[in-house]
């Protein structure tokens, strides 16, 4: 009988951990027989018998023998061209060297990698040998599904954009549009909120955000439409990254004559030096700065450091303003005063009724946005070129109000 190799002599040091009993306890799976094969097949070290997992999904093995001398080799994860992907810390990989505490996903199923000490004999780790099969109810459900479809959506540009008007008060004339991204993948939500929820788990939210802006620029350049000021959106992960400015430069080259404003979330004020640098680039590109969801956080004191051109007051401040207490109205008046103090023009978001619009006029708002004026519509409808489109700007009031609750989720 041949002498065991040095690899076979090494004690088992690693385990996979997942939740069991509806999240009340942990299941620890010892990684002993190497390579440790994972998939839907019956004769693997770990079988996950579900369609989101490929028959032969991934393997775990020790890194090559030429690893640093005197240092325990790490585990190496290799994806076997699986359909739904293998992820390390929510980033899709084909190969990766692993560290203790890494979060692994095979398809939709989540595990944490742990190191088992040689002297640890607590009995809470599954013994070596054979196949361990885990049922769906024993697995963590924290990971968001739809990653394969989201990758397809981004890689094949299965998106579009719609336009929602911003109007002047009290007249209601359209003075600008906010450009909103939408998905066109049949197995994914259409709304950006649902799409970004999936994109964030695989580290592609910034790409999706840039894709929406590029789509808008492409449509505008092709249509050569004469539109007023357009508000473009960002994702928080883009702030401070060079790709954001590069994407804006590309857009400005494609639509040099279109008035643009860039919306960033109020939370970005936590790093005023980053916003100051961004605003400098925006000035060079003749793009204005808008602060979105204003009033949700505690950053209004930072407004003076990097004053935006526009402040979009979150719909939670506008909702039910007709019956609001005097203290809520005083708070809104203070925020309005802060906006004017730094030279920012306030915009009331989420206007749904004529009464809300009237109160906003009384409070001093001169700009507003919401389903009272229109739901988001296609560029063809906005420019009057899509009379036969299903996505019309004008809809009966009852249809508009039916969609108000949906709009709160977008």
| Residues 167 and 175 sit within 8 Å (Cβ to Cβ) | yes
| CA atoms in the 13 A half-sphere facing the CB of 364 | 14
Q: What is the pTM of this model?
A: 0.66
Range 24-31, long-range pairs (CB < 8 A, 24+ positions) = 26/124, 27/126, 27/134, 27/138, 28/114, 28/124, 28/125, 28/126, 29/111, 29/125, 29/126, 29/132, 30/116, 30/125, 30/126, 30/127, 30/128, 31/60, 31/75
Sign for the CA dihedral angle at 333, 338, 342, 344 comes to negative
The DSSP secondary structure of 137-181, one letter per residue, reads GGSB--SPS-HHHHHHHHHTT-EEEEEEEEEETTT--EEEEEEEE
Q: For residue range 284-294, list pLDDT tens digits in order.
A: 999 999 998 87
**Strand extents, DSSP E, 196-301:** 229-232, 260-265, 287-294
pLDDT, tens only, 227-239: 999 999 999 999 9
**Highest-scoring range by mean pLDDT, 36-40, 102-106, 139-143, 290-294:** 36-40
SS3 270: helix
Question: Could you give the CA distance from residue 130 to residue 48 in angstroms, rounded to a whole number?
Answer: 14
Contact 58, 86 (CB under 8 A): yes
257 against 410, higher pLDDT: 257
The predicted pLDDT at position 208 comes to 97
C-alpha triplet 200, 53, 147: angle, nearest 5°: 20
Contact 365, 169 (CB under 8 A): yes
Nearest-5° Cα angle at 14, 9 to 18: 150
Peptide bond into 170 cis (omega under 30): yes
Contact, 368 vs 169, CB < 8 A? yes
- The percent of residues in the chain predicted with pLDDT above 90, rounded, is 46
Q: When comparing pLDDT for 224 and 386, which is higher? A: 224
Give the pLDDT score at 407: 41
Lowest mean pLDDT among 197-206, 215-224, 299-308: 299-308
Quickly state the pLDDT bin for 326 (edges 50, 70, 90): confident
What is residue 74's predicted lDDT score, i.e. its pLDDT? 84
Which strand (E) or helix (H) includes residue 279? helix 272-284
């Amino acid at each position: 009988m041949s002498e065991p190799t040095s690899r076979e002599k090494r004690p088992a040091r690693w385990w996979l951990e997942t939740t069991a009993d509806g999240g009340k306890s942990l299941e620890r799976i010892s990684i002993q027989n190497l390579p440790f094969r994972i998939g839907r097949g019956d004769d693997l070290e770990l079988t996950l018998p579900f369609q989101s997992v490929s028959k032969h999904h991934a393997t775990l093995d020790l890194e090559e023998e030429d690893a640093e001398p005197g240092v325990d080799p790490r585990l190496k994860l290799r994806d076997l061209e699986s359909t739904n992907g293998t992820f390390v810390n929510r980033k899709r990989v084909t190969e990766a060297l692993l560290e203790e505490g890494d979060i692994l996903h095979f398809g939709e199923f989540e595990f944490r990698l742990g190191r088992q000490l040689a002297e640890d004999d607590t009995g809470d780790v599954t013994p070596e040998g054979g196949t361990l099969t885990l049922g769906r109810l024993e697995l963590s459900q924290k990971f968001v599904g739809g990653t394969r479809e989201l990758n397809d959506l981004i890689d094949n540009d299965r998106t579009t954009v719609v336009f929602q008007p911003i109007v002047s008060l009290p007249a209601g004339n359209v003075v600008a549009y906010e450009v909103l991204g939408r998905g066109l993948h049949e197995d994914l939500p259409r709304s950006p909120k649902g799409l970004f929820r999936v994109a964030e788990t695989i580290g592609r939210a910034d790409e999706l955000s840039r894709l929406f802006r590029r789509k808008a620029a492409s449509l505008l350049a092709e249509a050569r439409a004469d539109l007023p000021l357009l508000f473009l959106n960002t994702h928080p992960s883009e702030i401070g990254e060079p790709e954001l400015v590069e994407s804006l430069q590309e857009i400005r080259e494609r639509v040099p004559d279109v008035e643009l404003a860039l919306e960033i979330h109020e939370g970005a004020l936590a790093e005023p030096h980053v916003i100051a640098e961004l605003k400098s680039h925006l000035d060079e590109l003749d793009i204005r700065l808008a602060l979105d969801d204003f009033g949700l956080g505690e950053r209004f004191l930072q407004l003076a450091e990097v004053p935006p051109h526009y402040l979009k007051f979150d719909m939670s401040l506008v909702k039910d303003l007709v019956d609001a207490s005097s203290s809520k109205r005083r708070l809104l008046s203070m925020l309005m005063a802060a906006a004017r103090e730094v030279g920012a023009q306030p915009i009331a978001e989420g206007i749904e009724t004529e009464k809300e619009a009237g109160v906003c006029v009384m409070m001093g708002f001169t700009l507003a946005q919401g389903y009272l004026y229109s739901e988001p519509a296609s560029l063809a409808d906005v420019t009057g070129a899509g009379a036969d489109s299903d996505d019309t700007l004008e809809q009966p009031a009852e249809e508009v109000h039916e969609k108000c609750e949906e709009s709160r989720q977008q």
